[in-house]
């Protein structure tokens, strides 16, 4: 089992013949296409992959990816943490015809040569697992918040029980300061 630094390139056939297991983490900041879809790049992807030869000697990659990814809520435009947990079940093939002949429960990993980019493989699987639209649960979303021009109005945030200052209270303070200057 490899549990140190993850290799950048893998050779699926060799890994399958030796029944390797890869366990580790990849920083989301290293996955350029994924970062473009996120609200930050500080997250990590935990991966656990097993390589083996199927009964008919076909190289296989199975495993799991887990990540907590920061995305933009499409209701309130605030950051929402999206949990991704996806299973990987790949059959290594070298042509489109071999890919079409696979059973429906297997996804193809079409190889052009003997090596594959591990980060690209992980990134592809995560991109396929992202929700089309990210949003908070109804009781946690900020989209339904009420704002008031009353300087004494404070909204209680349901998710943390803390009061939030009215964003217009600063303007009310400026108005009272302006009136006191005129009276002088």
pLDDT in tens, 97-122: 999 999 999 999 999 999 999 999 99
Maximum separation of any 2 CA atoms in the chain, in Å: 93
What pLDDT is attached to residue 171?
Answer: 72
Q: Is 167 exposed, middle or buried (0-12, 13-18, 19+ CB in 10 A)?
A: exposed
Mean pLDDT, residues 58-77 taken together = 92
DSSP 28: G
Q: How far are the Cα atoms of 14, 59, 134, 168 from residue 91, in angstroms, in the given order?
A: 14, 6, 30, 58
- Label residue 73 by pLDDT band (50, 70, 90): confident
What pLDDT is attached to residue 169?
Answer: 67
Assess whether pLDDT exceeds 90 at residue 138: no
pLDDT digits (tens, 9 = 90+) for 5-48: 789 999 999 999 999 999 999 999 999 999 999 998 889 999 99
**Where does the chain show beta strands of DSSP type E?**
9-10, 21-27, 44-53, 59-72, 79-93, 107-110, 116-117, 155-156, 163-164
What pLDDT is attached to residue 77?
Answer: 83
Please say whether the dihedral angle defined by the alpha carbons of residues 74, 77, 82 and 88, taken in this order, is positive or negative: positive
Assess contact for 13 and 59: CB atoms under 8 A: yes
Higher pLDDT, 173 or 69: 69
Q: Which two tokens stand for residue 120?
A: 């690209």
Contacts of 174 (CB under 8 A, 6+ apart): none
Contacts of 138 (CB under 8 A, 6+ apart): none
- What does the domain layout of the chain look like in residue ranges? 9-129, 145-184
Assess contact for 125 and 86: CB atoms under 8 A: yes
Question: Within 13 Å, how many C-alpha atoms sit on residue 123's CB side?
Answer: 18
Name which of 124, 48, 60 is nearest 91 in CA terms: 60
What pLDDT is attached to residue 156?
Answer: 44
What pLDDT is attached to residue 162?
Answer: 38
Assess whether pLDDT exceeds 90 at residue 174: no
């Amino acid at each position: 089992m490899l549990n140190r630094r993850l290799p950048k390139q893998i050779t699926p056939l060799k890994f399958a013949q030796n029944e390797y297991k890869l366990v580790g983490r990849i920083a989301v900041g290293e996955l350029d296409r994924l970062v473009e879809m996120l609200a930050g790049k500080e997250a990590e992807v935990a991966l656990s992959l097993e390589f083996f030869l199927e009964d008919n000697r076909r190289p296989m990659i199975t495993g799991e990816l887990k990540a907590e990814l920061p995305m933009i809520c499409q209701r309130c435009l605030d950051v929402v943490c999206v949990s991704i947990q996806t299973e990987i079940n790949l059959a290594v093939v070298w042509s489109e015809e071999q890919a079409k002949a696979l059973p429906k429960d297997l996804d193809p990993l079409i190889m052009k040569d003997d090596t594959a980019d591990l980060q690209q493989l992980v990134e592809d699987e995560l991109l396929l697992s992202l929700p089309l639209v990210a949003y908070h649960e109804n009781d946690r979303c900020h989209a339904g918040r009420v704002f008031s021009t009353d300087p004494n109005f404070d909204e209680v945030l349901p998710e943390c029980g803390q009061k939030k200052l009215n964003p217009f209270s600063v303007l009310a303070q400026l108005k009272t300061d302006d009136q006191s200057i005129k009276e002088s």
